[in-house]
Structure 1
Amino acid sequence: MMEKSGTDASHRQDARRPARIGSVDTHAHVFERGLPLTQRRRYAPDYDAPLDAYLAQLDAHGITHGVLVQPSFLGADCSYLLDALRRAPERLRGVAVIGRDCAKDTLTEMADAGVAGIRLNLIGHADLPLDNWVSGQTLAYVRELGWHVEVHAEAARLQRIVEPLLEAGVNVVVDHFGRPDPDLGVRDPGFRRLLELAHTQRVWVKISAAYRNWRDLRTGDDDMHEAVRLLKEAFGPGRLMWGSDWPHTQYEAREHFAHALKLFRALLADDEERSAVLADTPARLYMFNGLRPCSCGT
């Protein structure tokens, strides 16, 4: 069952107040029942996950900022996402889903609302060339804005998706550990190829939603730790980020925000590394500080 939160004026005011960037949840979703759903969807929730409930989660766990990612089942209609961003502009940034040929004016309007990137969620979709999903002209606009492209795809497909994006000159964020095959874990050849992309210094990886990769988090504990070790070794903590994946769609019956944060702390025990992953890196990439991230690596 979804957590409830109040909607009084003082809470709304606090949500908009500028705050020190102490920690960022880089992956969460907000939505309500009754919103228009895209025809090509794998799943649609039967509950509400509104902005106030998400902000209450951040407050309860001491997370200062958040990144809202457009849910796949809402397609390219980002109106609900943009409204949420406008309600807490100092605290939130967004990642949008757009059409293949999205106009520059539309992207600029999204940027003004707090969007900092676009998402290609290709789970369940055919393995087609990148141009099928986003045109070269649209990628040029994305690059001009200083945005990144977030990729959600199985590890086996990542290299074929990420390399053309890098060739187009955009930065890339890879979702959820790179989605290794649950039966292979860190032995997945696609995961190993993801590690090789670290040398570009233009790829970031989210340590998030472990339950989408390891069916049993207890038996997969060693493999998760090994995945984080390998990611740190390849990318360094400066190119890793954490996300709660709230409200844990399709896993909401057994997952919750507190567990996601506890697991992250167990996987990354060093305080200095945690600070980089939780604050320094996402503050730059999502432009919370108003500065565009470097596209050449640091």
Structure 2
Amino acid sequence: MLDTCSRPITGIDSHAHVFSRELNLAAARRYTPGYDATLEQYLEHLRTHGLSHGVLVQPSFLGTDNSYLLSALRQAPEQLRGVVVLERDVSRCMLNDMARLGVVGVRLNLMGKALPDFRDAAWKEFFRQIAELDWHVELHRQVEDLPGLLRQLMPFGIKLVIDHFGRPDARLSVDQPGFPQMLELGLTGRIWMKVSGIYRLAGTPQQNLEFARRALPLLEQSFGLHHLVWGSDWPHTQHEDSISFGTVVEHLQALECSTQLMRSLLVEGPRELFRFDLPVSC
């Protein structure tokens, strides 16, 4: 065990990945890592930047084999929470086992995939179990498709989390297709936004940062202060050569957040969403 008992929350990184190049990779994947991103490396990044806790998200190239992520949770149960990728027919026994290890959500990475029809009976049963566990569903998809997906998911009564600003195109305005509708849905109080992956917004570094600066006040107004969470997106897959943990911390600082918003992004929002306020067996 790397970690055993409760520690004060100084900051929560809400989105990171751990993996090894030796793991079995999903047959259908958009990316193949040529390096390891270990738990030890990640925890050292947290320490270096004054962060106390983190959320590990299953990377798409590992498919539904969450074993490496679950092993990491076992090593730092107090410090970490997990978001997994699952088959729809996963057993309730397996879900319960994951919950005991600190899994609090499931990710739907829909980038490059056909859009699912959540009216299907198998999806309905899957989301029923997710709701019973009080987990969230995290969506990764371009912004133009998000409103339709969110509207399909909202009747299930589950918490919804949007990845990386909703993946808008920073070369366009905040009125681009899908963005205003996403903001409108944020007013329902049932959706969270990850303020992360600024470098993934399709523009130049300057365009990406300027878009994030314009978007953040709109997101705060629509989603609410405590429904915004910050994530490093470490180890910055597909951008490793130009982005580091230090880079994304600089991006966060460049957003010039108020003291209140910064505390919400790093502590109050993620503490509630990822259930860091629940007791952990030590």
Place the TM-score, normalised by the shorter chain, in its bin: over 0.9
**1:95 pairs with 2:111:** no
**1:256 pairs with 2:244:** yes
**1:138 pairs with 2:123:** no
Q: 2:29 aligns with which of 31, 36, 41?
A: 41
**1:179 pairs with 2:174:** no
Amino acid at match of 2:65: D
Q: Closer, same or farther in 2 for the Cα pair 1:140/1:225, shift >3 Å?
A: same
Q: 1:59 aligns with which of 33, 43, 47?
A: 47
Amino acid at match of 1:166: M
Amino acid at match of 2:89: D
**1:290 pairs with 2:278:** yes
Amino acid at match of 2:220: K
3-state SS of paired residue (1:255):
coil
Whether contact under 8 Å (2:55, 2:81) holds in the other structure is: yes
Match of 1:9 in 2: none
Q: 1:223 aligns with which of 205, 211, 215?
A: 211
How far the C-alpha of 1:268 sits from its partner, in A, is 4.1
Amino acid at match of 2:148: R
TM-score (norm 1): 0.90
Q: Closer, same or farther in 2 for the Cα pair 1:133/1:248, shift >3 Å?
A: farther
1:50-199 equivalence runs, <5 A: 50-130=38-118, 135-199=123-187
Amino acid at match of 1:28: A
Distance (Å, rounded) in 2 between the aligned partners of 1:164 and 1:141: 17
Amino acid at match of 1:247: P
Distance (Å, rounded) in 2 between the aligned partners of 1:133 and 1:259: 44
How far the C-alpha of 1:215 sits from its partner, in A, is 2.5
Whether contact under 8 Å (1:26, 1:66) holds in the other structure is: yes
Unaligned runs of 5+ in 2: none
3-state SS of paired residue (2:20):
coil
State the Cα deviation string for residues 74-126 of structure 1 (Å, max 9, x = none). 00110110000110000000000000222111111110111000000000001
Percentage identity across paired residues of the two chains: 43
The two structures, once aligned, show a CA RMSD in angstroms of: 1.6
State the Cα deviation string for residues 32-71 of structure 1 (Å, max 9, x = none). 0111111111011110001000000000000010000000
3-state SS of paired residue (2:107):
strand
Distance (Å, rounded) in 2 between the aligned partners of 1:264 and 1:112: 32
Unaligned runs of 5+ in 1: 1-11, 292-298
3-state SS of paired residue (1:241):
strand
Distance (Å, rounded) in 2 between the aligned partners of 1:48 and 1:185: 37
Match of 1:204 in 2: 192
1:15-30 equivalence runs, <5 A: 15-30=3-18
Q: Closer, same or farther in 2 for the Cα pair 1:121/1:132, shift >3 Å?
A: farther
Query: Which stretch shifts more, 184-193 or 109-118?
Result: 184-193
Amino acid at match of 1:200: T
Distance (Å, rounded) in 2 between the aligned partners of 1:140 and 1:77: 22
